[in-house]
A and B are shown apart, each in its own frame.
Chain A
Amino acid sequence: MTTLQIDKVRGGYTSAEEIVKGIDLEVRSGDLAVIIGPNGAGKSTFLKLVAGLLRPTGGRILLDGHELPAGNAQAACTRGLSFVPQERNVFATLSVRDNLLLGHYSVRGNASRAMEQQLERFPILKTRLKHPAGSLSGGQRQVLAMALALMTHPTVLLLDEPTAGLSPVAAEDTLRVVRRLADEGIAVLMIEQNAVLALRHGTRGIVLVGGEKARDKGAGELGSDEEISQLFLGGRKAFETQRR
């Protein structure tokens, strides 16, 4: 049982401008928490703060009660956090195989076996093992990025728009995989603009606006929130038709 506790975290890219303005959040094993919100709300920045890629100007992040060193992505990674960024999330000039093996670099254990597990999960990568990651299509690259993140056997997975650029069937498959990961006990915190689909697979919905948390509810409950629906989901009708 893993608990990621985010305690009044604030920060941004420069000390002058604060993008994330004090967010409290708790994510546990089995949670698939979906973060939605308008463009520029601070969603990606928040995830980078949690992952240790940015140093918070305030607040703490605790994993199972132990505070993570501030702004230290490597420490976060070895303690079990894995982060998949929105862009530039694979090594373009390396082959798919080398990408996966590199993903295992920071942890102990059998790299080939970890790779086999990921290939089983994402069979699309099997046929592309020798190709450079830069030659993959946008969607295939997203799949590789997720497989890469799973090579360390994380307990917390942070995903920044994993379905961006995926075909409908691939997006659905990806979210199904993410949900399965959550069901297997990984705590997942995921940003998605494909909010309707994501909330259908998610367990929780969190809305960020202007760097602050505006809502934190059950995924289904959030979808039927009239105001949220109008503002961020393209209207309630869109939600209900797609939910069917």
Chain B
Amino acid sequence: MKADALLQLRDLRCHFGGLRALDGASFDIAPRRVTGLIGPNGAGKTTLFNCVSGLQPKTGGQVVFDGHDISREAAHDISGLGLIRTFQLARGCPRMTVFEHLMLYAPRQKGEGLFKGLVGSRDVREQEEEIADKAVGVARRLKLAHVLNNLVTDLSGGQKKLLEIGRALMAQPRLLLLDEPMAGVNPTLVRQIADELARMRDEGIAILLIEHEMALIESLCDEVVVMAEGKFFCRGSFSEVVSNRRVQEAYLGVRA
């Protein structure tokens, strides 16, 4: 076990009846790096995210985040530790606007307490203004500024995905689990978001990224982990992984 790992997964298991979505997955994630997580459809990538973030009860195994065993922690406690995830199918509260969604995700808001929330003291207002500025900035970077006051139900599929990334940017994570953030996002915007993610990495945030867009994995990831059939299969640099013959056959599809 590497001492410097930010996230350690040990023999992670998750069974749905007879289906072994995770069948003893073990690997570490290093801090301050972007790690790509690839594998064929059904390899257990999203289930792994669900188990790590506390949304899906595990059948067995251990998850250690920054030295804390979070295997039995609830989802909100895990996100409170700075382990934030996004979803493949973007979710949201239908009656809230884009702006409200972004505001909601800023952590440790002073106005959350009952007393301060009611009294609305000056420091609460000041922090709220700061967060609002940040939310507007995030929306601008993600080309969502023109829909800031729209309800999330008015957004297109791609815009919902962008909002997922926006919420992650607001949450100040230490480890960010991104589940196919670019599926459904226009390729030119994908490049801009990739720059955004690289900047987060440079600011010290570790990212674990499920993505099928290989150009993005290549340009963004410091390392790539490959999963197959609910297990760790191999890891290495992008070029090492894509030159693995079995990865080529099962995942990339070798072109004639």
Mark A residues whose CB is within 8 Å of B.
13, 36-45, 86-87, 124, 131, 135-140, 160-161, 164-173, 193-196, 230-235, 238, 242
The interface residues of chain B lying within 8 Å CB-to-CB of A45 are 156
Q: Known interface pairs A39-B143, A166-B212, A167-B41. Does A233 touch B187 (Cβ–Cβ under 8 Å)?
A: yes
> Bound complex: CA of A139 vs CA of B187, how far in Å?
20
Name A241's closest neighbour in chain B (CB-CB): B215
Select A234's contact among B40, B155, B188, B253, beta carbons within 8 Å: B188
The interface residues of chain A lying within 8 Å CB-to-CB of B184 are 39, 86, 161, 164, 193
> Bound complex: CA of A62 vs CA of B16, how far in Å?
46
Question: Would you call B40 and A170 a contact (CB within 8 A)?
Answer: yes
- Cβ-based interface call for B39 (8 A): yes
The interface residues of chain B lying within 8 Å CB-to-CB of A238 are 187, 215
> Bound complex: CA of A188 vs CA of B147, how far in Å?
31
Given contacts A136-B42, A138-B46, 8 further A-B contacts (CB under 8 A): A40-B155, A44-B157, A131-B16, A137-B43, A173-B253, A234-B215, A238-B215, A242-B215
Select B42's contact among A86, A139, A160, beta carbons within 8 Å: A139
Q: CB-CB contacts of B25-58 with A at 8 A, as 1s and 0s?
A: 0000000000000111111011000000000000
Q: Known interface pairs A167-B212, A193-B184. Does A87 touch B89 (Cβ–Cβ under 8 Å)?
A: yes
A-B contact pairs, 21 of them (CB 8 A): A37-B186, A38-B189, A39-B157, A42-B156, A124-B41, A135-B16, A135-B21, A137-B41, A138-B89, A160-B157, A165-B41, A165-B212, A166-B212, A167-B38, A167-B212, A167-B251, A168-B212, A169-B251, A170-B40, A232-B188, A234-B215
Question: Would you call A39 and B162 a contact (CB within 8 A)?
Answer: yes
Question: Would you call A87 and B157 a contact (CB within 8 A)?
Answer: yes
Q: CB-CB contacts of B168-184 with A at 8 A, as 1s and 0s?
A: 00000000000010011
- Cβ-based interface call for B60 (8 A): no
- The interface centre, meaning the residue of B187, B188, B189, B190 with most chain A CB atoms within 10 A of its CB, is B187
The interface residues of chain A lying within 8 Å CB-to-CB of B132 are none
> Bound complex: CA of A83 vs CA of B189, how far in Å?
27
What is the minimal beta-carbon distance from A193 to any residue of chain B, in angstroms? Answer: 5
Q: Known interface pairs A137-B41, A138-B88, A166-B212. Does A193 touch B185 (Cβ–Cβ under 8 Å)?
A: yes
Name B89's closest neighbour in chain A (CB-CB): A87
The interface residues of chain B lying within 8 Å CB-to-CB of A230 are 188
CB-CB nearest 10 A-B residue pairs: A139-B41, A169-B253, A39-B158, A234-B187, A137-B42, A164-B183, A86-B157, A40-B156, A137-B41, A164-B184
What is the minimal beta-carbon distance from A93 to any residue of chain B, in angstroms? Answer: 13
Inter-chain contact total with CB atoms closer than 8 Å:
114
The interface residues of chain B lying within 8 Å CB-to-CB of A233 are 187-188
Select B188's contact among A42, A43, A231, beta carbons within 8 Å: A231
Question: Would you call B89 and A137 a contact (CB within 8 A)?
Answer: no
The interface residues of chain B lying within 8 Å CB-to-CB of A196 are 187
Question: Would you call A234 and B191 a contact (CB within 8 A)?
Answer: yes
Question: Would you call A232 and B251 a contact (CB within 8 A)?
Answer: no
- Cβ-based interface call for B250 (8 A): yes
Question: Would you call A138 and B156 a contact (CB within 8 A)?
Answer: no
Name A86's closest neighbour in chain B (CB-CB): B157
The interface residues of chain B lying within 8 Å CB-to-CB of A242 are 215
The interface residues of chain B lying within 8 Å CB-to-CB of A193 are 158, 183-187
- Cβ-based interface call for B252 (8 A): yes
The interface residues of chain A lying within 8 Å CB-to-CB of B96 are none
Question: Would you call B41 and A166 a contact (CB within 8 A)?
Answer: yes
